[in-house]
Amino acid sequence: MSDTKQHELDQLAINALRFLAVDAVEKAKSGHPGAPLGCAPIAYLLYTKIMKYDPTMPKWSDRDRFVLSNGHASALLYGALHLAGYDLPMDQLKAFRQWGSHTPGHPEYGETPGVEVTTGPLGQGFAESVGLAIAEKHMAAVYNHDNHTPVDHHTYVLCGDGDLMEGISHEAASLAGTLKLGKLIVLYDDNLISLDGPTELSFTEDVTRRFEAYHWQVQMVHDGNDLKALEDAILAAKADTTRPSLIRVRTVIGYGSPKAGTQKVHGEALGAEATKETKRNLGWPEDKSFYVPEEAQAVWDKCKEKGKKAREEWEKLYQDYKTAYPELGDQYDRTTASKLAEGWEKLIPVFPSDKPVATRNAGQVVMNAIAKVVPELIGGAADLTSSTKTIFKDSQNFHLDPKGRNIFFGVREFGMMAAVNGIAAHGGLIPFGSTFFTFSDYCRSALRMGALQSSHSLYIFTHDSIGLGEDGPTHQPIEHLMSLRAIPQLTDFRPADANETAACWQLALERQSASFMALSRQDLPTLDNDKYKVHENTRKGAYILEQFGKDVILVATGSEVAMIVKAADELKAAGINATVVSMPSFKLFEEQDEAYKLSIFPHGVPTISLEAGATMGWWKYVGRDGIAIGLDRFGASAPAPLVQDKLGISATAVVEAAKKLLKK
């Protein structure tokens, strides 16, 4: 085929993609046509020539991953997925942004085949991609041997100016350079326009020098329509295996439209007349919508054939790999299928009741006890490993050896948790990130994103209350528990002791959903597992520890459970019979049937809750006539026992409240 004919076919296939996006936005009267018009050549090149994937098996484990970090350009991605042969029929493009469609306004993992992670909040797709690349590098180090390479793929990202303005992009890019993620390739849509106008209003930094300082390879493509220059840059990026790559691509937002090069084309439909004019400008039939010429579809159809061939070749080589390394092959099959090893839970420790243990320390014991039977567990802390106790004692650091399971994320809480979501989305690994609970504020949006996409992400928070003492109100979480409990699909765990902690770890690994743990810095009394069946009862979210009678119900979480146990003893001596309830998880409790819920909180029994945090949310359980003891103010700097006493988080406060309540 002549160069001229190939160029014509390329342009036809690119314009087919452009106008699927434009027509989808126009039909919805909502969306973002500017980026699809400018970036269609990038998507076309990636999907038709560069990336390794099989649209008929979108979860093939060794596929290349593509992340649209500037998720508002979703119409571009949906058009590419449709044309490339994914199960996304034209009717779905026509239902763009409509109720029940598989083409939501921003890409959502699990909603659309071919969408690797949920994106939209700018910068998070970029950071999740760092997690995808971490996962690939670790799994390649674990599984690849000799000439067998079952793990060998790249992560490609399309991002915009907004992604790089967000602070999370700095955290993630710095980490990626430090970890030498050479298979991460970011194409930056450098179109000089943001929603408010030219980027010179707010974004004048030298992006090239910035990323070079992060130890990235940086290239510049001066014309986003130049497929040869784009391909050469991508191939050069793939050749540099020790540095992540940023390719700056100068595009024209809204290319071909009368609004091209302005912010007016960013976030609203072009309108009927401007759509016609854009089609005229690019030689497209004005009277046709959702039109794909046969010649253009024929170009895209090759993706299916190419992808199927690549996948079948991999499968053949993988069978040879399994013959050579049967144990690793079985582990790879198991972990990529998100299955835990049979009998792994038998190594969950049971703690003796004669020794107090901080729940953060109990967590470390559990992690290391199961390390060998759950090799897919990987993660680290935001420069707080010695405090959060989240480290594998018998594993190397990922930075020194990618086989290592200890990732030192640095002081990058937001970037860390977004990367954790990316690792989870990759498959084959169960990731965690950890920091102090008060710093969950820094990464809350990533926690929400993990919950939204049902990531098997574990967020481990320690120093969970005013019980940390002297560090004072800046480090003492107050509103955090209730705030995170309000996030749909996020499982909350605040264990009362070492045995509840062990049970929570088991549940977090089994549930395959986003979960967070709030763990104590201070030692807590250990519950007798035989007496209270802690490991079994924790699964119910709330359970009865002591039942002296039903004059009053006392319920608490975490470190405050020991306080209500003490309060119940004091009340008994005063002739008041209390039922003591430990409630390690609101979400698990709400999943129980109504009969069980009523067995814990029966109608007509006065109830008092105690939790060293905001009281909002407790009224559901204590009722209008109950009492919620907590903190609706900030903490204070002093030794922990004094802070707790002064702020009324104590057995004494519960006893006084019970006596007052029962006098009514």
Tens-place pLDDT, residues 397-436: 999 999 999 999 999 999 999 999 999 999 999 999 999 9
Q: Give the integer Cα–Cα distance in Å for 165 and 179.
A: 22
Place of tokens 């977004």: 418
CB 503 within 8 A of CB 366: no
User: pLDDT tens across 529-566, in order?
Assistant: 999 999 999 999 999 999 999 999 999 999 999 999 99
Average pLDDT, whole number, for the chain?
A: 97
The mean per-residue pLDDT over the stretch 233-262 comes to 98
Is-same-fold flag (3-308; 539-663)? yes
Amino acid in position 49: K
For residue 664, is pLDDT > 80?
no
The mean per-residue pLDDT over the stretch 286-296 comes to 97
Counted residue by residue, the chain has a size of 664
The mean per-residue pLDDT over the stretch 586-615 comes to 97
Note the pTM of the prediction, 2 decimals.
0.98
Q: Please give the pLDDT value at position 1.
A: 73
Return the CATH class of domain 539-663: alpha beta
For residue 43, is pLDDT > 90?
yes
Q: Please give the pLDDT value at position 663.
A: 86
Pull the structure tokens for residue 73. Answer: 């350009």
Q: How confident is the model at residue 2 (pLDDT cuts 50, 70, 90)?
A: confident
Q: Write the CB contacts of 304 (distance below 8 Å, at least 6 apart in sequence).
A: 54, 55, 56, 84, 85
The mean per-residue pLDDT over the stretch 354-358 comes to 97
Q: Give the integer Cα–Cα distance in Å for 446 and 169.
A: 13
Return the CATH class of domain 345-524: alpha beta
DSSP per residue over 141-165, as a string? HHH-BTTB-S----EEEEEEHHHHH
DSSP per residue over 215-236, as a string? T-EEEEES-TT-HHHHHHHHHH
Q: Give the integer Cα–Cα distance in Å for 136 and 139.
A: 5
Place of tokens 């949006």: 445
Q: Give the integer Cα–Cα distance in Å for 570 and 16.
A: 76
Q: Please give the pLDDT value at position 97.
A: 98
User: pLDDT tens across 437-486, in order?
Assistant: 999 999 999 999 999 999 999 999 999 999 999 999 999 999 999 999 99
Tell the burial category of 200 from Cβ atoms under 10 Å away from its Cβ (0-12, 13-18, 19+).
exposed
Nearest to 433 by CA among 391, 499, 487, 379: 379
Most distant pair of Cα atoms in the chain: their distance: 96
Q: Please give the pLDDT value at position 552.
A: 97
User: pLDDT tens across 70-97, in order?
Assistant: 999 999 999 999 999 999 999 999 999 9
Q: Which of 413, 500, 560, 611 is catalytic?
A: 413
The mean per-residue pLDDT over the stretch 354-382 comes to 98
413 belongs to the catalytic site: yes
Q: Give the integer Cα–Cα distance in Å for 15 and 10.
A: 9
Count of C-beta atoms within a 10 Å radius of residue 78: 28
CB 351 within 8 A of CB 498: yes
Domain range annotation of the chain: 3-308, 345-524, 539-663
Whether CATH 3.30.420.40 fits 3-308: no
Q: Write the CB contacts of 213 (distance below 8 Å, at least 6 apart in sequence).
A: none
Instruction: Calculate what percentage of the chain has a pLDDT beyond 70.
Output: 100
| Beta strands 357-358 and 523-524, pairing class | antiparallel
The mean per-residue pLDDT over the stretch 144-148 comes to 94
User: pLDDT tens across 211-246, in order?
Assistant: 999 999 999 999 999 999 999 999 999 999 999 999
Question: Sheet of 245-250: strands edge to edge?
Answer: 65-68, 155-160, 184-190, 245-250, 217-221
